[in-house]
Amino acid sequence: MKRLTVLRHAKSSWDDPVERDFDRPLNRKGLKAAQAMGAYMREHELRFDHVIASPAVRVTETLVGVAQSYGEEFDLTEDRRVYLASNMTLVDIVHEVDGEVESLLLAGHNSGLEDLVMLLAADRKGDKLLAAVEEKYPTGALAEIEFDAASWADIEPGSGVLTRFVRPRDLDDELGPDEPT
């Protein structure tokens, strides 16, 4: 059994004058969401043998915030290919993971992450979790897919079961979408 947890970076700051999109940091709400997700992961005893992450600043800061509340450091590999990757590039990255790893956390960006979840999770009629992912995979959201597979290379489209989808607003109403002004 393999378990893939997919974490989108938390809300980033568009007010920070950076030269490259890659360097955009989290905003205050994003840091709070990352910490809330870390607390959720600790409370629900989510464990990871390995973490693969985009090296973009907003992903790095998300994982720092998650780790603060989670209470543990992650065995982390930064992979530049994750930055703004398509779902098929992400599948290639997952296929390369060592077979000893049972539980993998993949942290990165949309639209690739949402598309990855939609590609890998079996489309079961009336699946409310999958419908929620399809509706919107917001910043800071976490999805978990389980596979009946011996190796990561065996994972194919539609072969997983989506077992969890959690958005920051599910953990704290203040972390939901901003109200129109």
Nearest Cα neighbor of 57 from 113, 16, 103 is 16
**SS3 sequence, 123-167?**
CCCCCHHHHHHHHCCCCCCEEEEEECCCCHHHCCCCCEEEEEEEC
Query: What gap in Å lies between CA 121 and CA 157, rounded to an integer?
Result: 7
- Do the bridges between strand 2-8 and strand 76-78 make them parallel or antiparallel, or are there none, so unpaired? unpaired
Is position 137 within any domain? Answer: yes
**Whole-number pLDDT of residue 181:** 39
pLDDT class for 179, splitting at 50, 70, 90? low
Is position 134 within any domain? Answer: yes
Q: How many domains does the chain have?
A: 1
Domain range enclosing 118: 2-9+25-172
Is position 178 within any domain? Answer: no
pLDDT single digits (tens) 27-73:
999 999 999 999 999 999 999 999 999 999 999 999 999 999 999 88
Is position 67 within any domain? Answer: yes
Is position 14 within any domain? Answer: no
Is position 177 within any domain? Answer: no
The CATH number linked to 31 is 3.40.50.1240
Is position 43 within any domain? Answer: yes
**Whole-number pLDDT of residue 75:** 79
Is position 82 within any domain? Answer: yes
Instruction: Please report, for residues 4, 78, 103, 167, the alpha-carbon distance to residue 49 in angstroms, rounded to integers and kept in the order given.
Output: 11, 15, 5, 23
pTM of the full structure: 0.94
| Tokens linked to 25 | 């940091």
